[in-house]
Structure 1
Amino acid sequence: MTLPTRKLGELEVGAQGLGCMGMSQSYGPADRDESIATLNAALDAGVTLLDTADVYGLGHNEQLVGEVVRARRSEVVLATKFGFKRILDKSDQGVRGDAAYVKQACEASLKRLGVDHIDLYYAHRIDPAVPVEETVGAMGELVKAGKVRYIGLSEAGAESLRRAAAVHPISALQSEWSLWTRDIEGEILDTCRQLGIGIVPFSPLGRGFLTGRVTQDFTEGDSRRNLPRFMGENYDRNYTIVEALKALADKLGVTPGQLALAWVQSQGSDVVPIPGTKRRTYLGENIAAATIELAADDLAKISSVAGEVAGERYSTEALKLVNG
Structure 2
Amino acid sequence: MSFPVHRPRRLRQSPAVRRLVRETAVHPAQLVLPMFVREGITEPVPISSMPGVVQHTIDSLRRAAAEAAASGIGGVMLFGVPEERDATGSGADDPRGILNVAAAAVVAEVGDAVVVQTDLCLDEFTDHGHCGVLAPDGSVDNDATLERYASMGLAQARAGSAMLGLSGMMDGQVGFVRAALDAEGFTETILLAYSAKYAGAFYGPFREAVDSQLKGDRRTYQLDPGNGREGVREALLDVEEGADIVMVKPAMPYLDVLAEVRASVDVPVWAYQVSGEFAMIEAAADNGWIDRRGAILESLTAIRRAGADAILTYFAVEAAAWLRA
TM-score calculated relative to the size of structure 2: 0.57
**Structure 1 portions without partners, runs of 5+:** 1-12, 216-238, 278-282, 293-324
Identity of aligned residues (%): 9
Structure-2 residue corresponding to 1:14 = 29
8 A Cα contact 1:204 1:264, kept in partner: no
Partner Cα separation in structure 2 for residue 22 and residue 67 of structure 1: 11
Structure-1 residue corresponding to 2:21 = none
Structure-2 residue corresponding to 1:30 = 55
Equivalent residue for 1:71, pick from 87, 93, 109: 109
Structure-1 residue corresponding to 2:319 = 286
8 A Cα contact 2:37 2:80, kept in partner: no
Partner Cα separation in structure 2 for residue 106 and residue 165 of structure 1: 18
1:122 aligns with 2:165: yes
Partner Cα separation in structure 1 for residue 36 and residue 294 of structure 2: 23
Structure-2 residue corresponding to 1:102 = 149
Q: CA deviation at 1:43?
A: 0.4
Partner Cα separation in structure 2 for residue 92 and residue 54 of structure 1: 13
1:135 aligns with 2:173: yes
1:287 to 1:209, Cα distance in 2 relative to 1, 3 A = same
8 A Cα contact 2:258 2:306, kept in partner: no
8 A Cα contact 1:258 1:285, kept in partner: no
1:258 to 1:169, Cα distance in 2 relative to 1, 3 A = closer
1:150 aligns with 2:190: yes
Q: CA deviation at 1:173?
A: 1.0
Structure 1 residue ranges (4+ consecutive) displaced by more than 4 angstroms after TM superposition: 22-26, 54-59, 212-215, 289-292
The letter for the 2-side match of 1:93 is: H
Partner Cα separation in structure 2 for residue 66 and residue 213 of structure 1: 37
Q: CA deviation at 1:80?
A: 1.7
Equivalent residue for 1:84, pick from 122, 129, 138: 122
Structure-2 residue corresponding to 1:189 = 259
SS in 1 for 2:168: coil
Structure-2 residue corresponding to 1:165 = 239
1:37 to 1:214, Cα distance in 2 relative to 1, 3 A = farther
Q: CA deviation at 1:261?
A: 3.2
8 A Cα contact 1:261 1:289, kept in partner: no
**CA RMSD across the alignment:** 3.5
Partner Cα separation in structure 1 for residue 106 and residue 188 of structure 2: 19
SS in 2 for 1:21: strand
Structure-1 residue corresponding to 2:66 = 40
Structure-2 residue corresponding to 1:232 = none
TM-score calculated relative to the size of structure 1: 0.57
**Structure 2 portions without partners, runs of 5+:** 1-27, 40-44, 49-53, 84-90, 92-96, 134-141, 197-230
Structure-2 residue corresponding to 1:51 = 77
Partner Cα separation in structure 2 for residue 30 and residue 256 of structure 1: 25
The letter for the 1-side match of 2:149 is: V
